[in-house]
Amino acid sequence: MIIRPKKSTSVECHSALLVSMMVLGLTWGCSIPNKGDGQVGGGGENFEGLVENHKAAVLEAVEEPRVQNPPAKTIRFDGRETVLGTAEVAPVSTAQFCSELQAFLDQQKLFSASRFVDAHVDVAEQAFWERCVDDSSAELISFISEQLSQGVPPAISLSRLQLTFKTEEAQAIAYHQSRTDFIAQLQSGNPSEEAAQQLRNIAQSLDHPLVMLDALRLLGLRELVNERFGWAESLLLQAAQIAEEHEDNERANRIWLMVAKTCLHSERQADAMNAWGKATQGRVNLHLEGSRRFDSQFWIRAIEQRPSETKWPSALPRAFAKFGRTTGCELSATSSPELVLWGAVGSAHYERLEFQAALLGFKKAESFATGDDVMWLRILQSKCLASLGQTAAAAALLSGPAASENVSVAIAAKAAMGSVKLQSGAFQQGIQILSSALNDSGETQWNGRSHAEADYSRIIHQACELVVFCWWRGREHCCPSFWR
């Protein structure tokens, strides 16, 4: 249940609220909710650390000394300082991907596991190829194959390929070994013609379209690395043809992007524009035809590999506006394609708690925005910075939106400032600002309101937990002064 402050709410009345919640908790068996599977948090995380630290202080005062609880979790990104607009995202390794996915499966968090695979389609498929004959990874591979086979014709699905590998185990192991050796040679230099021929022969003997696609892609990369662009394009075009014949259009779109990149390397602008157009128009058509996941990696590549003077598909804003509306921007069929795309990329990363990548996406989107859209994107950038520990920069970025004449923007900025204060440790000030923003908005709906209400509710519940704990231990004075 969301606790919504009334018009008379003030910091001074929180004590009475907490006492009443404490009584309810004792009489009704109140269970303090923990952060759920995949929940996007706001200011509650640092406060949770405060709760744990105060619990430790209480225990230390009444029991034997013990090891201090670890500090509240902080979000770090590869050890480097985050500079607005210069964030770089390191790709997830297959080992890291498999480790995190296995953890979700072990905890029966199947929804989070499903979203995790959807967020890293390329890495998930790579993990499949690396571990497809490893019996110890059977559960992991089965989950990946089932997830990536949704919406794909059975004949070219990973699930069907997994069955083929089980019935032709010797050939599957041979292909896996040949593939592993070929990639090792590709990384260290130029694979030999013998290794390339062996890979091709085993792929043909398995007679499965996905195996042929994989082999053609690897052989194409070999030619591309050696700057034999004509041969590379020929192999990739064969792969695209196989994908299209089996109606695996998402895979065909990815291959057409590779063809476009090959044409750019060989300075064939017209062919690059044609291949890039097929890739992007094909993906837009899929979204117009029905519900599809937003593949942020595909579109980032499309942006990077876009040939000069090439126009975006005209239907792109209409197809993807729904993915960027969570930003608060007024998106429509006439919006800038770059604004829609970067807004959708930022939103996708933000939902996955990848705040550095989200920050870059929202900053890129801002460069194509005008009017209130700029303010909404700055609010989101502020939230990303706060989640990355840069609360001072986050607060500074909110000054413009807070002064906006648009009431919804100004209230959203005020609520975001409350969350920033909470994350910086200024809990009393943060709660006061957050409560004021919710009061001021009345029944007005604004982007981010549900998250602000969730932050407020979570803080109250965690404070209730602390009060009950201290009361139970007979150490009421250990509570923070502003909650007593």
pLDDT of residue 479: 53
CB 146 within 8 A of CB 116: no
| Proportion of the chain above pLDDT 70, given as a percent | 74
pLDDT for the residue numbered 477: 52
Minimum mean pLDDT range among 75-89, 126-140, 211-225, 300-314: 75-89
* Rounded distance between C-alpha atoms, residue 216 and residue 204, angstroms: 11
- Taking the model in full, what pTM does it have? 0.73
pLDDT at 329: 85
61 φ/ψ angles, rounded to the nearest 5 degrees: -75, -30
Check residue 40 and give its pLDDT: 37
DSSP state of 63: S
- Give 388's contacts (C-beta < 8 A, 6+ positions apart): 75, 77, 82, 355, 356, 359
Mean pLDDT in residue range 347-366? 91
For 425, phi and psi rounded to 5 degrees? 100, -5
Helix axes 449-473, 407-424, angle to 10 degrees: 30
CA distance 332 to 341: 12
**pLDDT bucket at 285, cuts 50 / 70 / 90:** very high
> How confident is residue 65, by pLDDT bands cut at 50, 70 and 90?
very low
Nearest Cα neighbor of 398 from 420, 366, 373, 431 is 420
User: What is the predicted pLDDT for the residue at 355?
Assistant: 92
Burial 125-149 (b: 16+ CB within 10 A, else e): bebbbbbbbeeebeebbebbbebbb
**pLDDT higher than threshold 50 for residue 422:** yes
Q: How far apart are CA 75 and CA 97, in angstroms?
A: 18
Average of per-residue pLDDT across 147-151: 91
DSSP label of 155: G
Q: What stretch of H or E contains 440?
A: helix 427-441
Determine the pLDDT at residue 471. 61
pLDDT tens for each residue of 91-115: 678 999 999 999 999 999 999 999 8
DSSP notation for 354-411: -HHHHHHHHHHHHTT--THHHHHHHHHHHHHHHHTT-HHHHHHHTHHHHT-SSHHHHH
On the 0-12 / 13-18 / 19+ scale of CB atoms within 10 A, 100 is middle
Q: What is the mean pLDDT of residues 235-248?
A: 95
Q: Which domains does the chain have, with CATH numbers?
A: 8-26+39-59+371-484 (no CATH), 106-306 (1.25.40)
pLDDT, mean over the chain? 78
Higher pLDDT, 370 or 327: 370
pLDDT-based confidence at residue 439 (cuts at 50, 70, 90) = confident
| Percentage of the chain lying above the pLDDT 90 cut | 48
3-state class (DSSP) for residue 79: coil
pLDDT of residue 125: 93
- Amino acid 282 reads G
Q: Is 60 exceeded by the pLDDT of residue 441? A: yes
Query: Which two tokens mark 348?
Result: 């996708």
pLDDT band at 141 (very low <50, low <70, confident <90, very high): very high
Other C-beta atoms lying within 10 Å of the C-beta of residue 440? 14
Query: Above 50 in pLDDT, residue 67?
Result: no
| pLDDT the model gives residue 10 | 39
Question: What's the chain's Rg over C-alpha atoms?
Answer: 27
Q: Is the dihedral of CA 97, 101, 106, 107 positive or negative?
A: positive
Q: Residue 151's pLDDT is what?
A: 85
How confident is the model at residue 11, as a pLDDT?
36
